[in-house]
Each structure stands twice: as structure tokens, then as C-alpha cells.
């Protein structure tokens, strides 16, 4: 059983993470300082460094577990061999969209803070490595929907278009107060249509590029 000091230490740690999440969501990762986070958490600006060495460490602790959960969901869909490729892509897309809209207040932190290229092979930050693996799962789902001889660079380009289009639609609703279920019910037809239109366009240009 934890003693009083251990309980107090864990409470401080949670308060720091909560303060960081709130401030990052309200003002953006780059503008918030460690001193401001400490003040909001109710601890000294020296105490915070006993728990987290810098803002990147806070970003890591705030983002990794939720993004790992999303990664597991998307992987499970892609392992389901009963789904046709197009149905698999739709399912991973819906899982991604639901996650983003369920975490609207942290969306930009999870995906934008300290972000680098989605196709970078060895990003320095572990959270960016995980973001890139999520992108890789979408890429895998899209490749399965295309002709087998579609070049890798074309698949990458299609996935980037798909990924950024999803983020564009999601970003429109990050400040919405509408309940998640209502929002999804209203938006899923839009996402489904966007998915169908993009996939049809990918097929058309991939076939044209192959000379078929």
C-alpha cells in the first residue's frame, strides 16, 4: 500500500499532466512554458522538473497511451481477413475519425505538436514514430485497395492526400461542443463519401499510370 508521500507525489504528477494538457490545448504546445504549467498545477517551477525534464516529456506522457490504443484498434481491423479491402479501409478510417473527435481538446497535441514528416523513417521523438506507424496502417489499408502493380511512391502520395483530407475535415470540428455520438452520426456520411470519392480517384489515376 502506498504511503502518504507516494500518494502526494502521484497527485502532483497527475496535476502537472492535467495542467499541461489544458494549457497545451488552449494555447498550443510551443507557447506554453514549464513555469506556467507548474503554476497551474500548484507546484513550484523547480518541482516540475523532478517529474518531467521538459515539455517533450510531457507530450510523450500525454500522447503515447491514447495513440497506442488507437494503433491497436486499427491493427485489429487490418488483421480481420473477413473484411474486403475497401471495408477494411472504411473501418480503420472510422476508428481514426472517432478517436480524433472523441479527443477534440487534445487533437492538435496528439498529432501536431512537434510533428515532422509522416513518411520520415527515423523521427527523433517516440510520439512521432507512433504517429508515423498510424500513417503506415492507413497506407497499408489503401495499398490493399489498389491494383497490385501500383508503385510505392504513388501509394505514398495517395495516402498523404487521404491522411491530410481526413485531418482537414476533423480540424473543422475540433472546437465543436456537439456530443460525440451526434457529431459522428452527422459527419459519418461526409467521411464515407470523401473516402469513396478519393478511392475512386486513386483507382482511376493508378490505372491510368499503369497504362491499363
35-51 confidence digits (pLDDT tens): 999 999 999 999 999 99
How many CB atoms are located within 10 Å of the residue 36 CB? 15
Condensed to tens digits (0 to 9), the pLDDT of residues 159-189 reads 999 999 989 989 899 888 899 999 999 888 8
**Which of 30, 212, 27 has the alpha carbon at shortest distance from 113?**
30
User: What is the reported pLDDT for 48?
Assistant: 95
User: What is the reported pLDDT for 194?
Assistant: 85
- Give the mean pLDDT of 122-128: 91
User: Cβ-count burial of 179 within 10 angstroms (0-12 exposed, 13-18 middle, 19+ buried)?
Assistant: exposed
CA distance 9 to 146: 52
CA distance 150 to 206: 6
209 confidence band (pLDDT: 50, 70, 90): low
- Give the mean pLDDT of 183-202: 88
CA distance 91 to 74: 8
**Least confident span in 122-131, 137-146, 187-196, 201-210:** 201-210
Q: What is the pTM for the complete model shown?
A: 0.89
**Which of 95, 188, 98, 92 has the alpha carbon at shortest distance from 144?**
92
157 confidence band (pLDDT: 50, 70, 90): very high
Q: Which domains can be identified in the chain, with CATH numbers? A: 1-53 (1.10.10.60), 62-210 (1.10.357.10)
Q: Which residue has the higher pLDDT, 121 or 151?
A: 151
For residues 43 and 52, is the Cβ–Cβ distance under 8 A? no
**DSSP H or E run through 157:** helix 152-171
Amino acid at each position: 500500500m502506498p504511503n502518504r508521500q507516494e500518494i502526494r507525489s502521484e497527485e502532483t504528477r497527475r496535476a502537472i499532466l492535467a495542467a499541461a494538457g489544458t494549457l497545451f490545448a488552449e494555447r498550443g504546445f510551443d507557447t506554453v512554458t514549464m513555469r506556467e504549467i507548474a503554476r497551474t498545477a500548484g507546484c513550484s517551477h523547480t518541482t516540475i522538473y523532478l517529474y518531467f525534464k521538459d515539455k517533450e516529456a510531457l507530450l510523450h506522457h500525454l500522447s503515447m497511451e491514447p495513440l497506442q490504443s488507437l494503433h491497436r484498434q486499427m491493427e485489429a481491423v487490418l488483421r480481420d481477413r473477413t473484411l474486403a479491402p475497401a471495408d477494411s479501409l472504411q473501418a480503420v478510417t472510422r476508428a481514426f475519425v472517432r478517436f480524433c473527435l472523441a479527443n477534440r481538446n487534445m487533437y492538435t497535441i496528439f498529432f501536431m505538436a512537434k510533428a515532422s514528416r509522416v513518411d520520415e523513417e527515423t523521427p527523433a521523438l517516440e510520439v512521432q514514430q507512433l504517429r508515423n506507424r498510424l500513417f503506415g496502417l492507413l497506407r497499408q489499408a489503401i495499398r490493399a485497395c489498389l491494383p497490385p502493380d501500383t508503385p510505392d511512391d504513388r501509394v505514398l502520395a495517395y495516402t498523404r492526400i487521404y491522411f491530410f483530407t481526413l485531418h482537414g475535415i476533423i480540424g473543422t470540428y475540433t472546437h465543436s461542443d456537439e456530443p460525440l455520438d451526434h457529431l459522428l452520426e452527422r459527419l459519418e456520411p461526409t467521411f464515407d463519401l470523401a473516402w469513396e470519392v478519393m478511392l475512386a480517384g486513386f483507382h482511376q489515376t493508378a490505372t491510368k499510370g499503369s497504362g491499363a
